[in-house]
Amino acid sequence: MTDDERLAALFRAAATDTAAPPPRFDHDDVVAASRRITARRRSAMAGGALTVLAVLGIGAVVAIPGSSRDDATSTAAAPFAASGQAGPGDAAAPDGAAPELAAPVPPAGGADVPQALRGVPPFTGTPLGPGTAECADRQDPALRAFVEQVLPEVVGAPEAATTMECRPAGERGVNVEVRDGDAAGLLTVQYLPPGVIVSLVSGAVSAPTASGGTVVIYSRPAETGAPVPFAGRVDTAAAFLAPRL
């Protein structure tokens, strides 16, 4: 008998536990859980689509050009739309200098904000806050939408396998298999509700959020020693997400 055969026999013996407890789930449990998740995801996607439409609607109202300086002020609050475009107030700017109001709005936090987020307007919406599902959503669409804004590589990234363990309802999570240039791996973003104290593993980053919770981001390579996806951008992502969660 070869080494491999002896080991295989040993593992099979270990796995054949006659004292194993009976299964705690049956076929009906599986199908019910599957349908519950599917229904919840559809509902969340519908909600997310409505939110996007609402945001687009507000953005359109804000960006409508007018003839008064007040309008220019409004446009300056949406630099993505206004950048590089001459607004109605620009013609009055002396010597073609960029109008002061077109300058990026400094985000809240000032010097503490990572360089990559300078120019991003401060988030003024309602923070996402704790989840409301019966069990925490390990692939939370609303959280993922924010993650995709700060890490565009996440758009279209496949969901990573996660357990169905019922995590506390207030949590939200996103677990995706990502590729960032030559680096591939797993990105985990987790929102933890207020009062949850955690100790982080090496490489994980956390930040207190606007709703009083904590956002934890952890990016790890597919293989030990390989390049880490989003290396150097995780802090930026945490700073971006903190006021939104």
- Residues near other proteins (CB under 8 A) are 2-4, 6-17, 19-21, 23-25, 27, 29-31, 33-34, 37-38, 160-165, 175, 186, 188, 190, 198-201, 204, 216, 218, 220, 222-223
3 state DSSP class of 81: helix
Nearest approach in angstroms of CB 236 to other proteins is 18
Q: Output the smallest distance, CB 112 to other proteins, in A.
A: 23
111 or 201: whose CB is closer to other proteins? 201
Between residues 72 and 238, which has the closer beta carbon with respect to other proteins? 238
Phi/psi at 188 (5° precision): -120, 125
Mapped onto helix, strand or coil, the DSSP state of residue 117 is helix
> Cβ of residue 17: shortest distance to other proteins, in angstroms?
6
What DSSP element (H or E) covers 10? helix 3-15
Structural contact between residues 222 and 186, judged by C-beta atoms closer than 8 angstroms? yes
**Shortest Å, Cβ 143 to other proteins:** 15
In the bound state with other proteins, the residue whose beta carbon lies nearer, of 13 and 92, is 13
Least distance CB 211 / other proteins (angstroms)? 18
CA 245 centroid distance within chain: 9
Nearer to other proteins, 126 or 163 (CB): 163
Q: Radius of gyration of the chain from Cα atoms?
A: 24
Contact 64, 77 (CB under 8 A): no
Location of structure tokens 């019910």: 32
Of residues 60 and 166, the one with the C-beta less far from other proteins:
166
If one counts every other C-beta atom within 10 angstroms of the C-beta of residue 137, the result is 23
